[in-house]
Amino acid sequence: MTTDVAVRVHPKARRNHVEWGESGLKIWVTAPPDSGQANAAVMDLLAKRLRCPKSSVEIVRGHASRDKVVRFTGFTVEDIQAKLSSPAE
């Protein structure tokens, strides 16, 4: 089972943060958008918050854009919303 979710990324933020909005996920990462650093930070942050292997989180569209589509393997939209809505540890 795979789920694709629209993501808006804000690189060079003050802190790492994930928020679920009407149009999908909004993610703030401290990494700059150079050489894929922000993309790697997005995947690391999502894998950590979902408590899943990094291989379960993949950017499928928008590698060079702030607007991305991320594919989650093994999760439904409801699972993702529930896990990302809980406070970060």
Tokens (6 digits) for 56: 């379960």
pLDDT digits (tens, 9 = 90+) for 27-85: 999 999 999 999 999 999 999 999 999 999 999 999 999 999 999 999 999 999 998 88
Is 22 among the domain residues? no
What is the number of domains present in the chain? Answer: 1
Residue 73 is part of a domain; what is its CATH number? 3.30.1200.10
Q: Against a cut of 0.75, is the pTM above it?
A: yes
Domain-located, residue 20? no
In a domain, 23, yes or no: no
43 assigned to some structural domain: yes
- The alpha-helical segments, DSSP class H, found in 1-89 are 37-50, 77-85
- Helix, strand, coil in percent for the chain, rounding step 5: 30, 35, 35
Which residues form the domain of 51?
2-11+31-85
Tell me, yes or no, whether 18 lies in a domain: no
Residue 66 covered by a domain: yes
Q: Which of 48, 42, 46, 47 lies closest to 30, judged by CA?
A: 42
